[in-house]
Amino acid sequence: MAKICLTIDLRDPFFGGSPPGDTTALAAWRNRLRADVLGCLRFLSDRRLTATFFFTGQAAEELPELVPVTREGGHEVGILGLDDRRLDAIRVPEFRAQLARAKDLMERGGAEATLSYRAPHWSLTRRTLWSYEILGDLGFKFSSSSVPHTTSGDRRGLLEPHRVRTAAGEIVEIPLPTVRFFWENIPFSTGHALTRMPFWFLATCVRHRLEAGQSCVASIQSWELGPPRSVWHRLRARRLALNVEGIASLTQVSRLSELFVSEPAKLPIRLIEEQGRQRTFPVLDTIAEEAPIAASST
């Protein structure tokens, strides 16, 4: 059965997912992020919905009480990296060390085995496919880190959920869903889209995927459902809440790790091939079940 997963990234509207260096700004960041997460938890509890929350390691370190509170509400917690930097701005050894530290901070804060990951700013593209090997080495099983969009991610990325086969095992990647508009893929399940697109259009997009047997994710940021800080924010949050409620009524709402738990083998495979000592990452437009993919030159 195709499902919807609601994901929430812990991000502050002013400083993102990383705390500011200034002491006064840091206190304000903590207060806003705490209030936003508690507001999201109230919203979900009132509607009996579950979600997957993505924490940066720094957020888990500065606000460790939020991890167990989130899990106690029946929600899953995942990792959004140690800080808010894009993958293409981090060197490979640094990424491994930062992700291991973020995972340790999360699990010390109350998360059990952290299995889900999201790259900041949808930065898992053809240029950063090396990150899958590190995710596999560190025990991650699920990722929702890509979007086939020109400016937000990688326009030539895969549209549908798929398995990535690495040396350490398989990782299920669930891209942000899009709808084709002329030459571009337009995401329809972000907070931005859910507050600007009419519900009939959103419902049509979601139903189309569900009828095709494809589960999908919706992605919002914690501040979008947090306490309103202006008239504009209040109106925006009200529209977002109505559209989230409407989308959730179309099918079962699940946590990210539960989307394909019963039938992961039905997902197509994306292979990362090894040639000699250098691991290469192919540019993919289509994939075939169990078929190796020719690697591009690097």
Is the distance from CB of 52 to CB of 76 less than 8 angstroms? yes
Position 274 confidence tier, pLDDT thresholds 50, 70, 90: very low
Position 163 confidence tier, pLDDT thresholds 50, 70, 90: confident
Position 157 confidence tier, pLDDT thresholds 50, 70, 90: confident
The pLDDT of residue 168 is above 50: yes
Please name which of 35, 119, 37 lies closest in space to residue 84, comparing C-alpha atoms.
119
Residue 282 has a pLDDT of: 39
Position 286 confidence tier, pLDDT thresholds 50, 70, 90: very low
Position 269 confidence tier, pLDDT thresholds 50, 70, 90: low
Q: Is 152 left (phi over 0), alpha (psi -120 to 50) or beta?
A: alpha
Q: What is the CA radius of gyration of the chain?
A: 19
Domains belonging to the chain, first-starting first, are 4-271 (3.20.20.370)
Considering only 78-92, 119-133, 227-241, 262-276, which range has the smallest mean pLDDT?
A: 262-276
What is the C-alpha to C-alpha distance for residues 222 and 244, in angstroms, rounded to an integer? 14
Q: Is the pTM of this model over 0.75?
A: yes
- Other beta carbons within 10 angstroms of residue 257's beta carbon come to 17
The percent of residues in the chain predicted with pLDDT above 70, rounded, is: 84
Is the distance from CB of 66 to CB of 75 less than 8 angstroms? no
Residue 275 has a pLDDT of: 32
pLDDT in tens, 84-136: 889 988 999 999 999 999 999 888 877 677 889 999 988 898 888 899 999 99
Q: Chain-wide mean pLDDT for the chain?
A: 83
pLDDT in tens, 24-63: 888 888 999 999 999 999 999 999 999 999 999 989 999 9
120-158 in b/e form (b: 16+ CB < 10 A) is bbbbbbeebbebbbbbbebebbbbbbbbbbeebbbeebb
Residue linked to tokens 């060197």: 91
Residue 261 has a pLDDT of: 65
